[in-house]
Amino acid sequence: MRKYLLLFLLCITNLYSVVSQDLLQSGPMVGYSTMKEVLLWVQTTKAAEVHFVYYEKENAKQRFTTQKYTTEVNTGFVAKLIADKVLPGKKYVYELFVNGKKIQKDYAMEFESQQLWQWRTDPPEVNFAIGSCNYVNEVEFDRPGKPYGSDFDIFTAIHKKNPNFMLWLGDNTYLREPDWDSRTGIFHRYTHTRSLPELQPLLASTHNYAIWDDHDYGPDNSNSSFPLKETSSEIFKLFWGNPNYDVIDKGGITGSFTWADLEFFLLDNRYYRTANNNYTTERQILGKTQIDWLINALTTSDAPFKFLVIGGQVVSSEAMYENHATFPKERNYLIEKIREAKIEGVVFLDGDRHHTVLSRMQENDNVYPLYDLTCSSLTAGANTNKEPLNAYKIDDTIVGQHNFGILNVKGPRKERELTISIFNKDGEELWTKKINEKDLKYN
């Protein structure tokens, strides 16, 4: 009798485990990291109670638990919970529980807290991945013909590089015609893209930060007139794990974060944007308020590399498509303010173009060169555009296939070196360039 009772209990336990597993829609995902807390994210298929347990890799006996949270339909069954018992410079393992049952995965679920290095050591080495334009097919809603998205194993290749974090440069999902005009549609598209199986191991053990461009904001080439822009902002914030949003109190997703001695400024190129063909008013992409906040923040920063992250190209002189060169007055204002304030170490990171290229602009010998790294596309259709009108492009950096970047910063304080490496979908290196901290200083 005891034998049968044990078998019965085992069957019941396995059944509960399967049921809990079925409640997991996507994730878990690791969001921002600081020295004292880390964001953990998960999405369920319906209302369920979720929490995380976590512990240092070197001390599994001391376990910590996040608060418990019941997911709700009106927030897409998303939970964002804080691991707030972390210590600086530690690596942690975490476990996900849904309705009290542990979710089993065959890949690592780990995160790290940032190091306390100031006044103690040189800054730590940092590796981060970048990419943009991620199209996940859904036949019933896609255009007829050849699928636009492909090579989803690229996320496995990124995962194998083991970056500290992934910085998503916009068009991280592609809203379709049925999605644009309803909250239900936008939730569906974000959920469908986030649930891609090949993406899950990367999300689970790499910290993730993001901006948007037109396709994860609204329709193609969308701007400030998009009627659901507040809904898009709400859902973007639910699905990503940045430490802050809308720091200028004007709506949208503008924010920033630091990692080691690096600083990243996450800019919003959609919420305030003038329509591309509207010449009846003052034309803007970022808007004066956002640019003035940016200049103020840049002058406050002492980071050797200050990364300005934006959905579209800034430095390129090719005044076409949605490049900043098509808004020359604002582009000039932005660059002139960077020069006027003597801000050093600026590097632009962007996507949008469905090919990769590094641009370098230096107006005269009295200023350092401004670099603009365009990294695209992850899975959306790639192109072989050679940017014939971009006077600042570096010819041997143009890539017309699915690719991603790994940026490495290392070296002692005041001698930091940035290495940019671009890889194909299989993780094979296509090109690499080095930029020293001293190269981005004024004479």
CATH number at residue 148: 3.60.21.70
Tokens representing 60 are 């599994």
Tally of CA atoms within 13 A in the half-sphere of 263 that contains its CB:
16
* 224 in the same domain as 163: yes
In angstroms, the CA 177 to CA 179 distance is: 5
Q: Does 16 have pLDDT greater than 70? A: no
- Residues 128-149 have pLDDT tens digits of 999 999 999 999 999 999 999 9
Three-class SS state of 171: coil
* 271 in the same domain as 144: yes
Residue 422 belongs to domain spanning: 126-440
Tally of CA atoms within 13 A in the half-sphere of 61 that contains its CB:
0
* 290 in the same domain as 168: yes
- Residues 382-422 have pLDDT tens digits of 999 999 999 999 999 999 999 999 999 999 999 999 999 99
In angstroms, the CA 94 to CA 91 distance is: 10
- Residues 151-196 have pLDDT tens digits of 999 999 999 999 999 999 999 999 999 999 999 999 999 999 999 9
* Total tally of structural domains belonging to the chain: 2
Tokens representing 45 are 């298929």
- Residues 344-392 have pLDDT tens digits of 999 999 999 999 999 999 999 999 999 999 999 999 999 999 999 999 9
* 77 in the same domain as 41: yes
Q: Is residue 415 part of a domain?
A: yes
**pTM, rounded to two decimals:** 0.95
pLDDT of residue 19: 55
Which of the pair, 364 or 14, is modelled with greater confidence?
Answer: 364
* 46 in the same domain as 133: no
pLDDT of residue 21: 77
Residue 186 phi, psi (nearest 5) = -65, -40
Q: Compute the average pLDDT of residues 228-248.
A: 98
Q: Compute the average pLDDT of residues 46-72.
A: 97
Q: Which residues pair with 44 in a beta bridge?
A: 24
In angstroms, the CA 137 to CA 175 distance is: 11
pLDDT of residue 23: 97
pLDDT of residue 20: 67
